[in-house]
């Protein structure tokens, strides 16, 4: 099977509009195949993070008298878990985008960038919706006494999404070129959940751990998002230039690698 990009015939609509239609069609296809065929559909996308947050809150409330910030264990762990989960799911979905749309990429109208963007946009919208629903539910059901500042929350989530896109594209290429990479990446990233500030604040960690974990971009994502929920929490360790720089490098590398090697990835 040959995978190639063919220019649009003159009588067709401009490529930009054609690409938009293709992306929307791919998004609708994934909505049907991923959520439309399972009982509950989108309900499970909501119940999974809620279940994880409730378990974390109950477990740590038995050990600690109060969370590291505020008065609500549920809100504290939600502000750490949801940004991390957004990164984790988006990077995984992006890494598998070419395999998921392999059959459709044999058509000239469908390009690799369409497949990547369709999966990224659909899952970003889904996860941001889940974030808003879960946080709104917590605010309604618990006396959190928090004042929300939307700016750092939006900045943190946006950078988390694009960071995940860059990681996913690089992971997609490396996993396609070197099959053993998937096992290596799984082992290397396993401690990320513990090292990204979901459970504890950066300021509460030992100095030697701070010096190492500061280089983890997800720690900056979680800190920036939490800064929007806790007005007294300054998260002075957060460096948006560092997080933005790493994100841009990964996006550029991912685009270059995908353009050069997507055919090889598809043929394996």
Q: What is the DSSP secondary-structure string of 141-194?
A: HS-------HHHHHHHHHHHHHHHHHHHHHHHHHHHH-TTHHHHHHHHHTTHHH
| DSSP element (H, E) containing 12 | none
Within a domain: residue 244? yes
Total domains present in the chain: 1
DSSP character for 31? I
Does a structural domain hold residue 6?
no
In a domain, 220, yes or no: yes
In a 13 Å sphere around the CA of 210, the CA atoms on its Cβ side amount to 11
Query: Burial level of 128, CB count in 10 A (0-12/13-18/19+)?
Result: middle
Residue 3 lies in a domain: no
Give domain status of residue 2, yes or no. Answer: no
Task: For 58-106, write each residue's pLDDT tens digit.
Answer: 877 777 777 888 888 889 999 999 999 999 999 999 999 988 888 888 8
Q: Is the pLDDT of residue 3 over 60?
A: no
Cβ–Cβ under 8 Å, residues 110 and 26: yes
Q: Check: CB of residue 41 under 8 Å from CB of residue 30.
A: no
Identify the band that residue 13 occupies on the pLDDT scale cut at 50, 70 and 90. Answer: very low
Could you tell me if residue 8 is inside a domain? no
- Residue 49, domain member (yes or no): yes
Domain that holds residue 128: 15-267
Q: What is the DSSP letter of 32?
A: I
Query: Does a structural domain hold residue 176?
Result: yes
């Amino acid at each position: 099977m040959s995978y190639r990009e063919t220019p649009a015939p003159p009588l067709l609509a401009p490529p930009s509009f054609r690409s938009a239609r293709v992306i929307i069609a791919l998004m609708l296809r994934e909505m049907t195949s991923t959520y439309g065929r399972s009982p509950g559909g989108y309900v499970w996308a909501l119940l999974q993070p809620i279940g994880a947050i409730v378990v974390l809150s109950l477990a740590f409330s038995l050990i600690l008298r109060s969370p590291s910030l505020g008065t609500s264990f549920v809100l504290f762990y939600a502000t750490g878990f949801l940004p991390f989960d957004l990164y984790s799911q988006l990077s995984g979905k992006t890494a598998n985008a070419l395999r998921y749309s392999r059959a459709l990429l044999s058509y000239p109208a469908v390009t690799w960038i369409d497949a990547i963007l369709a999966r990224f946009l659909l899952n970003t919208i889904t996860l941001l919706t889940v974030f808003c629903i879960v946080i709104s539910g917590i605010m309604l059901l618990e006396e959190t006494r928090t004042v929300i500042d939307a700016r750092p929350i939006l900045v943190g989530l946006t950078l988390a999404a694009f960071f995940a896109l860059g990681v996913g594209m690089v992971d997609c290429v490396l996993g396609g070129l070197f099959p053993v990479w998937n096992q290596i990446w799984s082992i290397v990233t396993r401690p990320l959940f513990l090292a990204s500030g979901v459970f504890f604040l950066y300021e509460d960690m030992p100095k030697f751990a701070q010096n190492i974990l500061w280089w983890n971009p997800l720690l900056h994502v979680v800190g920036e998002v939490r800064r929007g929920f806790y007005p007294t929490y300054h998260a002075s360790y957060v460096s948006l230039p560092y997080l933005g720089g790493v994100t841009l490098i990964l996006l550029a590398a991912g685009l270059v690698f995908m353009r050069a090697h997507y055919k090889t990835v598809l043929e394996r």
